[in-house]
Structure 1
Amino acid sequence: MATPGANALKKRGSRLSFDPVLISVAGTSSIASTSGSFAAVKSGGSVTTWGDPLSGGDSSAVMPLLLKGGFVKVYSTRKAFAAVTDAGAVTCWGDLKWGGDISAVYHLLQGGVQDIFLTVSAFAALKNNGSVVTWGSAKGGGDSSAVTQNLQSNVVLIYANQSAFAAVKFDGTVVTWGDPDIGGDSSAVSSQLVDVKRIYSLRRAFAALRLDGSVVTWGDATCGGDSSAVRDQLQSGVQTIISLRKAFVAIKTDGSIVVWGGNDVSIFSQQVKEQLQHDVKHVYVTNRAFAAVKSNGSVVTWGDLDTGGDSSGMRELLESDVEKIYSNEVAFVALKFGGKVVTWGDAKGGGDSSLVRAKLAGGVLQVFPAQGAFAALTSDGGVVTWGDSGSGGDSSEVADRLCSGVKQVYPLKRAYAALKYDGSVVTWGDPNYGGDSSEVEKELMAEVDKIYFNDMAFAAVKSSGSVVTWGDAEWGGDSSTVKSQLGM
């Protein structure tokens, strides 16, 4: 049994093209996605699903409930959905082991749910009486039986990483559960988890910031869970913490930073160490390199030289006026005041923007990273791309449509979709990830209001409430299976 019937399961998807279709989801208000399927919430509160049946695309087991309406929001793990009504009742479907089955806690989810939090494979519902209800993968946080008594009341907020949860209670204490190796077990630091005001999470670790400015960490020691090497520096004065892939960065009130975690993050030269002792505003990361922006707009880098740790070639351009930094896995992009862009890191992955340098000399408003490429939106509504052509770095085939009028850019792992002010959509990049929308080109010429996406497909909602999908067929790019359900 799934929800009071929740069905389905999950996916793994292919990378074949298909014949995408236009579907009428009358009055669609929002769309949620798992890794391979979509769920559209209509204006009347009913829910329609499509995509990989094993990851929530098949909701037939709970279809009567979903068509009845009253749903206001849908949450998702990688392979399951949870829909909540305005009364706080929950209905689930998708992979039974990843949160699609609430039969064990069904009686606790018939009302009063205030919010839902999630790991990759489990849900945790916070109710308006301060209690918590969990379901899904046991090791992923779906089993909280060991701490049930501590979750009966006074929980104010829940944090999650890949497979563990941490709940902060009204009195500042913390309750954890889930995979014990990555944060589900905090027994080693339980006495220190008091007066907690906020928790930060990495995929495999947690860091709690206390009212006195000290920090407590737990989880995978190699990924930020062990801060013993910098314990003395974390006893006071921490203002905020930044979560960076496998490392944490604490910014202190004096502007200095403390770094710990994986990827040899704390190994840097004496010169870099001195530069990081004051006035640091924010830190950014690629897979193995770091870039800190200081209050004077200068940039300090360290880490793997090939993926952004070496910015010496751009030193003069990075000495001032940097407003923000963007990154993908192997390269950095610095956006300066005035809209000028500076890039460094792996050349093929976006670190070299020399071919479009003139277009990036000013007026850039925002940058959108993909796996190995970047797309910059300019003040005149144009889009400039560079990096790996297979990841969206080459938009030459649609360049004439990206010269002006672009309102927003949506990046997938290896493809992009641009929404223009006239309601049309332009796509480029890997066709298997939605870079080719030629089959639905006519439907995307006007009236598109918003675009949603999962791992390998896009879904565009039009002003009429209809939805246009494209991308990998098995991962939600093909929505033909719901045509009859939608009266087409």
Structure 2
Amino acid sequence: SYLAQRMFISLLAISSFARFASGVDWGTGNRIQSAFVTRNYNTIVTWGDPLRGGNATFNSYETNIGVINSTYSAFAGRLYSGRVVAWGDPEYGGDISLVEDELQTHVIDVAATGYAFAALKNDGSVVTWGSQEYGGDSQEVNSELVEVQHIFANERAFAAVTANSSVITWGSSLHGGNSSTAVFTSRVLHVYASRWAFAALQVGGSVTSWGDVLVGEPLNHTATAHITDVVRISATMHAFAGLKEDGGVVTWGNPDYGGDASSVSAALSSGVLYLYSNDYAFAAVKLNEGYQPVLVVWGDVRYGGSVPGYVHAILSQSYGYGLQISSTSRAFVLRTSSGQAIIWGDDENLANCAAIAPYLQDKVRMVYTTEKAIAISTYDSVWYSCGPAEYGGNSSSVPGGYPNTVATTSRAFAFIQSGKVYAWGGDNFGADTATGPGRPEFEYDYFNTLYGSEQYLQNSYRYELPSRAPVPYPTEAPVNEPTNAPVFGTGLFESSPTYKISNGFAFAITNAYTNGVKTFGEAGYGGNSSGVDLASNVYLTVASRFAYAAITYDISVLKWGASGSIKDSVHPRQAETLVANEAAFAGTLGGQLFAFGSPHSGGSLNLTSHCHDPNCENSVVQLVPSACAFAGISQYGEVFAWGNRNCGGEMDQDVAEAVRTAGGARRISATREAFAVQTLSGSVVTWGSQ
């Protein structure tokens, strides 16, 4: 396999933070998040293959790392100051000495191929290093890399999108680094990657592809010239599939990797809700007339492109909500709404999964994968795993329980539970207890977030500043509805990029480099934060009508403003998500719900859920506020609400049943006094004030 990343990294620093970065992979169905560990000491702990960054040491000023990205054998981290540090194999980007001067400040993101890095600076310029052949040398296109907004990558090339929607490529010319044959007909919205090719989604749903898919001639515009109305693209190693607005699916690329779906074309003509992929095959999910899920697969029949008949029989007895599909490089794992796990594909490596199948009938909590192994956490606090032991297929050495955070490399799993780190799998890939969790640094209960260098990732641009022109400093605090309007540059932070929010009485302005927050306005309504440490490390700030709350990068919760809007029902010391209505706040930690503030507006948890699954309120995936209530969706597609009945805080059982029978909730929205849920079948269910 070309996946060779081999280490875990933990950051243990007050000033470090956790930033999630969702990325599409280089042709697999695994959607991963890069996470960083923050703790109470100015120390960074790494472990795994020492040749690939597993034995790094850091100066004290280098522990203030935010975003981290990786090639196959090196890491690069961006500090709060906008400076970049790197470690690991020099040939893969672990040495920045040739470009160090350009990486001292103003870097806002770092992207990576398998062999090189590209840093995006706040003036829209790009700095590259690592393997010259595979993206580390951008000299030929430097004059074109102006006002870059996004950077995308496959395994061997980069693609940058500029402010005027130009697409600039470099790296291996055979593998996407040369887009001269690509014809762009409208503004580029996003660039997706297979292993060695790119597909650009444009306004209107048209698609342009270029690169190598290991069949015939390289991709050019003729392969996708007929395609329109695409809203999302998925990829295997050497093929693409586009989900259209009407639920139809189009494919292109290598037929052996799913580029030809003619055998299932009738099933893919309409109604598809989700697309998944591993390295060799695709899986699509749609609903039948009874809102039961229907699975359609194609690609390499050995590796997930053919599904056993009993899978369809099980799905016919399931609901569409709560269905999840994960993948190894050669197999799929489906979790049904009832908590059953079904595995198909890669019989060579996953034959031992049959032994754990009886334990996966109704209690599956979460599914995790490495390249060739599967690990499953259940609601009875047990880990089950299968696949080769050297890829993580034997979890007998780790305790049961409910993990707080789970991360993977290509051949090892690691998780945090009660502050401690546990790992298993390939010793030289992050599971070796002599170089990892067995070291003295791991004997303290101070871990809460974990980063695993899993290379099922397209290292795409994470976020963008909304404007590169300074915005005048506001002279008056407008008395209006709360806003979350980002601005670029204010007098409080000189010329640094800033983000501003206002509750109508006071402002909170965040420095995008230091993540410090300064406040002004009505002191009693959030303008005075003197009793709260907001000097740095603030990840998210939200405003109610009379108060503010923030999450720091060590996931602590900070509150200031009117006491009635921040008093505790359940004291939230830590949080990963946070929202606010006019007088209360709500959030989640590990999917578990909490609230604080005015009890009349949802500050105390008094849920009306009617959930079939007793754990639905502890597995929240979306949370929205109305003016004086909250509502959410669990990972199983069930809905719940609480707060003032005049704002939708009370939900009838008929509402919950209507959502369930329509396949479960897809997304939820709110007005001031009501909520609306879009179901998987496309229907809309509402409740609240008429």
In the superposition, the TM-score normalised over structure 2's length comes to 0.53
1:236 Cα deviation after fit: 5.0
8 Å Cα contact 2:150/2:162 also seen in 1: yes
Match of 1:457 among 394, 408, 412: 412
Q: Secondary structure at the match of 1:145?
A: coil
1 CA distance for matches of 2:187 and 2:74?
A: 35
Q: 1:210 aligned to 2:165?
A: no
Name 1:250's counterpart in structure 2.
Answer: 200
8 Å Cα contact 2:392/2:412 also seen in 1: yes
Q: 1:435 aligned to 2:387?
A: no
Name 1:305's counterpart in structure 2.
Answer: 255
Match of 1:196 among 137, 148, 172: 148
Which stretch of structure 1 is more off in the superposition, 118-127 or 311-320?
Answer: 118-127
1:173 Cα deviation after fit: 1.5
Instruction: Report the CA distance shift for 1:292/1:393 in structure 2 as closer, same or farther (over 3 A).
Output: farther
8 Å Cα contact 2:333/2:341 also seen in 1: yes
Instruction: Report the CA distance shift for 1:221/1:384 in structure 2 as closer, same or farther (over 3 A).
Output: same
1:202 Cα deviation after fit: 1.3
Alignment of 1:84-483 (within 5 A): 98-99=52-53, 109-110=61-62, 112-230=64-182, 233-234=183-184, 237-263=187-213, 264=215, 273=224, 275-276=226-227, 278-337=228-287, 338=291, 339-355=293-309, 356-361=311-316, 363=319, 365-392=323-350, 395-437=353-395, 439-440=396-397, 443-444=399-400, 446-462=401-417, 464-465=418-419, 469-472=423-426, 475=429, 477=431, 479=433
Root mean square deviation, CA, Å: 3.5
1:478 Cα deviation after fit: 6.0
8 Å Cα contact 2:131/2:137 also seen in 1: yes
Instruction: Report the CA distance shift for 1:38/1:243 in structure 2 as closer, same or farther (over 3 A).
Output: closer
1 CA distance for matches of 2:16 and 2:391?
A: 29
Residue type at the aligned position of 1:457: A
1 CA distance for matches of 2:230 and 2:117?
A: 30
Q: Secondary structure at the match of 1:241?
A: strand
Larger-gyration structure (1/2): 2
2 CA distance for matches of 1:321 and 1:146?
A: 52
8 Å Cα contact 1:39/1:74 also seen in 2: no
8 Å Cα contact 2:195/2:238 also seen in 1: no
Residue type at the aligned position of 1:433: Y
Which stretch of structure 1 is more off in the superposition, 146-155 or 415-424?
Answer: 146-155
8 Å Cα contact 1:334/1:343 also seen in 2: yes
1:114 Cα deviation after fit: 4.0
2 CA distance for matches of 1:181 and 1:121?
A: 16
Residue type at the aligned position of 1:458: F
Instruction: Report the CA distance shift for 1:122/1:85 in structure 2 as closer, same or farther (over 3 A).
Output: farther
1:101 Cα deviation after fit: 7.2
2 CA distance for matches of 1:198 and 1:334?
A: 28
1:139 Cα deviation after fit: 2.7
Instruction: Report the CA distance shift for 1:165/1:394 in structure 2 as closer, same or farther (over 3 A).
Output: same
Residue type at the aligned position of 1:242: Y
Instruction: Report the CA distance shift for 1:89/1:156 in structure 2 as closer, same or farther (over 3 A).
Output: farther
8 Å Cα contact 2:188/2:200 also seen in 1: yes
2 CA distance for matches of 1:38 and 1:138?
A: 18
Q: Deviations over 1:71-129 (max 9, x none)?
A: 95799xxxxxx9877787656677665446778xx668456544443333333333333
1:275 Cα deviation after fit: 4.1
Structure 1 spans left out of the alignment, 5+ residues: 1-33, 46-68, 76-81
Aligned residues: 412
Higher relative contact order (CA 8 A, sep 6+): 1
Q: Secondary structure at the match of 1:150?
A: helix
8 Å Cα contact 2:7/2:49 also seen in 1: no
2 CA distance for matches of 1:351 and 1:447?
A: 33
Instruction: Report the CA distance shift for 1:416/1:124 in structure 2 as closer, same or farther (over 3 A).
Output: closer
**Percent identity among equivalent residues?**
35
Q: Secondary structure at the match of 2:284?
A: strand
Q: Deviations over 1:140-199 (max 9, x none)?
A: 223333333333332222222222222222221212222211111111111111111111
1:70 Cα deviation after fit: 5.9
2 CA distance for matches of 1:474 and 1:102?
A: 15
2 CA distance for matches of 1:93 and 1:393?
A: 30
In the superposition, the TM-score normalised over structure 1's length comes to 0.73
Which stretch of structure 1 is more off in the superposition, 476-485 or 335-344?
Answer: 476-485
Q: Deviations over 1:235-265 (max 9, x none)?
A: 8511111122111111111210000011158
Residue type at the aligned position of 1:253: V
8 Å Cα contact 1:196/1:208 also seen in 2: yes
2 CA distance for matches of 1:260 and 1:349?
A: 26
Instruction: Report the CA distance shift for 1:111/1:341 in structure 2 as closer, same or farther (over 3 A).
Output: closer
8 Å Cα contact 1:375/1:393 also seen in 2: no
2 CA distance for matches of 1:131 and 1:448?
A: 33
1 CA distance for matches of 2:387 and 2:54?
A: 33
8 Å Cα contact 2:6/2:73 also seen in 1: no
1 CA distance for matches of 2:111 and 2:430?
A: 29
2 CA distance for matches of 1:267 and 1:480?
A: 47
1 CA distance for matches of 2:10 and 2:86?
A: 24
Instruction: Report the CA distance shift for 1:360/1:275 in structure 2 as closer, same or farther (over 3 A).
Output: farther
Name 2:553's counterpart in structure 1.
Answer: none
8 Å Cα contact 2:199/2:210 also seen in 1: yes
1:396 Cα deviation after fit: 3.1
Q: Deviations over 1:326-378 (max 9, x none)?
A: 11222111122453211112222111113322223453511111232211011
